[in-house]
Amino acid sequence: MAKFQRKETSVRDLFIIQPSIIGDDRGFFIEAYNKRDFVNLGVDKEFVQDNHSKSKRGVLRGIHFQKNHPQGKLIRVIKGAVYDVGVDLRKGSPTYLKYFGLELSSENKLMLYLPEGFGHGFLTLVENTELLYKTTEYYCPDCDTGIIWNDPDISINWPFKNYNIDNPIISKKDANLQSYKEVLLPFKYR
């Protein structure tokens, strides 16, 4: 049995990775990353940084990306649950400005792979959710930017009502992000 399965999504080059879970009455074991196996899945990237984020219920982060030194990301939840979103920001892509979102949780153990040129955001669905993600490029504070979470042209269907979240908690930085039309997107599709 393969350690990982790649599941395609409706957005080009963005996919779900399902790890094999070995479990019994004591608990479980998963291999969360294996370079050789990921190369076989089509992820022939070197991850250079690991990030760990903790948020309370109802926090919405994003849609983030780096203009220069773009980051590919491998995202998973180790505690709690998020609605995780990737937005294709690569001009010329057949899925340009399309998004894909799904629930990542400590229960389903799914991972989402976003290549360079994608925006990333998430909404925490339960209290004290913890997210881990690997990046293919180092964080660059001067390159850090994003698109407003409720951009009408991207029109992300955040599941607020499904989780009884009346008012998402948004940082001042994220609340002041611009629409995609106001942001110079530097990414090109192959």
Residues catalogued as catalytic: 64, 133
Contacts of residue 131, defined as CB under 8 A and 6 or more positions apart, other chains included, come to: 52, 53, 54, 55, 75, 76, 77, 78, 82, 104, 122
CB 113 within 8 A of CB 43: yes
| Residue 151, number of CB atoms within 10 A of its CB | 21
CB 54 within 8 A of CB 128: yes
